Amino acid sequence: MEPAAADSPLIVGLVIAVVTLLLLFVQTKKKLTDNNAETKSIKNICDVFMNGHETAIYLKDEDLNYVFLNKAAESHFLKLVPERINQIDPSLEAEAFESSILVTDRQVIETKKTIEYEEKHKNRIFKVKKFPVELENDRIGVGAFIREITDEEKLIKKQERVLFRNKILVNVLSKKFRNDQKQLDYVLHEVLKLTDSNSGFICFYDEKKRQFTLKAWSKGLIKGADMMRLKQSYQLEEVGLWGDAVRQRKPVILNNQVDKLASECGLPGGSTITGNFIAVPIFIDEKITAVVGFAGKVDVYGDNDVYEITVLMNGVLTNVERRNIQNKLFAERSKYFQTLISIGDGVMVVDPQGKIEMLNKVAQQLTGWTNEEAKGRHYREVFVLSHEDSRQEIADPIVAAMATDQTQELKNHAVLTAKDGSVFHLEDSAAPIKNEKGETVGIVLVFRDVSEKKEQRKEIEYLSFHDALTGLYNRRFLEEELLRLDTERNLPISIIMGDVNGLKLTNDIFGHAHGDVFLKKIADVMRRVCRSDDIIARWGGDEFVILLPKTTIEQAKQIKKRIKTEFAQDGVKLIRGNISLGCAAKTVMNQSIMECLEFAEE
């Protein structure tokens, strides 16, 4: 039993050692399992990251066998299946990039240098970056990032075309051309370069006349045509395919079919074209103002060409039209300015601050100021305006025109006092001067001397309401006054009617001159007797009427009596004649004034 007892510690130690080893083994195995899981997780993450990118990524060993490639590389270039990893497939790569992939892969491994370049393949463009990769055992592989940049290159080219187009537009609009023709020739040849065309033309179009006018053309267009017989104008019915741009009111694009239709093209100059063709109508304010055509582009014409041609030609034609309008406006302004200077009325132009900018010759004569003296002065210093009645104020037409922004006419009572004190009666009007934005930039005052006219008008007005022989009011005036004064506040209204008896017999015996003297005497008597507010009129050849507002019948009878007394004292005799006077009064409004007149006559 002793030997067994002696072996017990040994056995226990062995057990402990075995258990310890087992524990170590379990722990080690667990660590290896965890490491493998972590490695697998990292690999999965890397796969997800690499495969989630559109860039094609691959890694090859020193023999150009694939070690790794992402899904973008598979789908875009090689279309590999998993079992092809660690294999080389030059036939597929040759199909994808015409063997250039293999060539540059070897170059990187041999030179151990990174390279970058662009590769074109089947209308697609790729950005390629390749770099050396150190593998185990000092081996060198190659890694690659390959990204498609076709759309980016198209965008860059589009931006370059836009820049080129804008450059042309800036040059066309900013360069100084001797005339419109030089500008049109310039833009035509620039658009030829922009669209890669070899011939082209610009025709203006008149919608009302349905007529084209050839304005610019390239040498290629009229090659072989007789320049001396080149037509400048074409009716819409005469032209072929390019006239469809007007008939259809939209661009005409013919790609790869013009050869068949060349005889129908009927281009300016009588020539035909081969190759692709485009005709674009140019609209300004919804009207076709021009048609431009281009031909000979190797590539097809498209919407981008239409857009670029439209943008450029719209800018050019708008500029040409604006310049023509400016030239016409300048000519019209010069014409109107010369008219203002030379017309028979006075003209004064003032700025918004009231400073004089111009006086024409008549204005200088009326104001007494020269244009040089007046320029820059405030108009009130030069144009001294007042009312003919010094007790009244005159409205300033320039102030009124500025305040209302409308034309103002001066009333008939304006008086201009010249520099030397001379006085002129004026008629005038003031109107705002507008710029192209409709803003008021000044006032033009047109005025004329109507002193003589005013005197003539006074004389005409006097004659129209007065009897030429006696100087009394005439029947027309009295009839108007009867209507005007027939109001309640003028009641009672009395009327005295006088009739000269024997006037015809006096005229027959002594002549009309003697009768006229008698009529004048009667008029003088009536004026002396009547009040200043009474209205005395010669009603007819031998009849007189006196209108007496606010006068009773008794007062009227007293006036009638005084007239007879004065008439008798004057000593003017008629053969078998005298003056008969009757009177009547209107005392209430429902009584007719004309009935009152008839009663006085009776």
pLDDT interval class at 79 (50, 70, 90)? very low
pLDDT of residue 438: 84
Task: Report helix, strand or coil for 498.
Answer: strand
3-state secondary structure 357-384: EEECHHHHHHHCCCHHHHCCCEHHHHCE
Tokens matching residue 20:
């310890």
- Other Cβ atoms within 10 Å of 555 Cβ, number: 16
| Cβ atoms of residues 264 and 190 within 8 Å | no
CA-to-CA separations, 239 to 158, 166, 210, in angstroms, rounded:
34, 32, 11
| Residues 206 and 230 both lie in one domain | yes
151/370: higher pLDDT: 370
Measuring CA to CA, which residue among 534, 436, 429 is closest to residue 478? Answer: 534
121, 148, 175: which is the final residue of a domain?
Answer: 148
Tokens matching residue 87:
């294999």
- Is a pLDDT exceeding 60 seen at residue 346? yes
The percentage of residues in the chain with a pLDDT greater than 90, rounded to a whole number, is 25
pLDDT of residue 40: 62
- Other Cβ atoms within 10 Å of 296 Cβ, number: 20
Mean pLDDT lowest among 283-292, 344-353, 563-572: 563-572
Contacts of 251 (CB under 8 A, 6+ apart): 245, 278, 279, 280, 281, 306
| Cβ atoms of residues 443 and 431 within 8 Å | yes
pLDDT of residue 418: 92
Mean pLDDT lowest among 114-118, 245-249, 431-435, 588-592: 431-435
Within a domain: residue 586?
A: yes
| Cα gap 159→199, rounded to integer Å | 25
pLDDT of residue 263: 46
Choose the most confident range, by mean pLDDT, from 4-8, 462-466, 467-471. 467-471
> How much is the average pLDDT of 4-10?
56
| Residues 106 and 205 both lie in one domain | no
> How much is the average pLDDT of 191-213?
89
pLDDT interval class at 249 (50, 70, 90)? very high
Task: Report helix, strand or coil for 409.
Answer: strand
| Cβ atoms of residues 449 and 513 within 8 Å | no
Look up residue 255 and give its DSSP letter.
-
| Residues 485 and 534 both lie in one domain | yes
pLDDT of residue 141: 92
Helix residue ranges per DSSP H, 466-583: 475-485, 503-510, 512-529, 553-570
| Cα gap 151→155, rounded to integer Å | 6
| Cα gap 438→431, rounded to integer Å | 13
| Residues 282 and 369 both lie in one domain | no
| Residues 566 and 482 both lie in one domain | yes
Tokens matching residue 283:
């609209």
| Residues 412 and 505 both lie in one domain | no
pLDDT interval class at 7 (50, 70, 90)? low
> How much is the average pLDDT of 440-462?
82
Number of H helices and E strands in the chain, helices first, is 19, 22
Domains contained in the chain, number: 5
Provide the residue count of the chain: 602
Tokens matching residue 14:
């062995």
| Cα gap 380→599, rounded to integer Å | 60
Within a domain: residue 331?
A: no
| Cβ atoms of residues 207 and 254 within 8 Å | no
CATH number of the domain bearing residue 508: 3.30.70.270
425, 451, 477: which is the final residue of a domain?
Answer: 451
Within a domain: residue 115?
A: yes
| Residues 442 and 545 both lie in one domain | no
346/573: higher pLDDT: 346
Peptide bond into 492 cis (omega under 30): yes
Measuring CA to CA, which residue among 602, 551, 566, 552 is closest to residue 581? Answer: 602
Look up residue 320 and give its DSSP letter.
H
Within a domain: residue 212?
A: yes
Within a domain: residue 71?
A: yes
- Is a pLDDT exceeding 70 seen at residue 475? yes
pLDDT in tens, 359-379: 999 999 999 999 999 999 999
- Is a pLDDT exceeding 70 seen at residue 382? yes
pLDDT of residue 76: 61
pLDDT of residue 288: 93
pLDDT of residue 356: 94
Within a domain: residue 170?
A: yes
CATH number of the domain bearing residue 75: 3.30.450.20
pLDDT of residue 64: 87
pLDDT interval class at 87 (50, 70, 90)? very low
289/22: higher pLDDT: 289
Measuring CA to CA, which residue among 583, 599, 475 is closest to residue 537? Answer: 475
370/437: higher pLDDT: 370
Q: Which residue has the tokens 């129908």?
A: 264
Within a domain: residue 335?
A: no
> How much is the average pLDDT of 201-210?
92
- Other Cβ atoms within 10 Å of 558 Cβ, number: 13
pLDDT of residue 93: 44
10 Å CB burial of residue 329 (0-12, 13-18, 19+) is exposed
Helix residue ranges per DSSP H, 78-207: 90-97, 100-111, 150-174, 180-195
Within a domain: residue 373?
A: yes
> How much is the average pLDDT of 242-247?
89
| Cα gap 254→273, rounded to integer Å | 11
pLDDT of residue 1: 46
Domain that holds residue 367: 343-451
In the chain, what is the straight-line distance between the N-terminal and C-terminal CA atoms, in Å? 192
| Residues 269 and 233 both lie in one domain | yes
The percentage of residues in the chain with a pLDDT greater than 70, rounded to a whole number, is 81
| Residues 202 and 298 both lie in one domain | yes
pLDDT in tens, 88-146: 444 444 455 546 778 888 999 999 999 999 888 777 888 899 999 988 888 999 998 88
Q: Look at strands 115-121 and 66-69 and give their pairing.
A: unpaired
113, 148, 183: which is the final residue of a domain?
Answer: 148
| Cα gap 220→334, rounded to integer Å | 43
- Is a pLDDT exceeding 90 seen at residue 323? no
Please report, to the nearest 10 degrees, the dihedral formed by the alpha carbons of residues 521, 525, 526, 531 taken in order.
140
| Residues 428 and 514 both lie in one domain | no
30's enclosing H/E stretch is helix 2-51
pLDDT of residue 175: 78
CATH number of the domain bearing residue 164: 3.30.450.40
| Cα gap 273→516, rounded to integer Å | 102
| Residues 393 and 499 both lie in one domain | no
pLDDT in tens, 26-66: 666 666 665 666 556 665 665 666 676 678 888 889 988 88
| Residues 61 and 124 both lie in one domain | yes
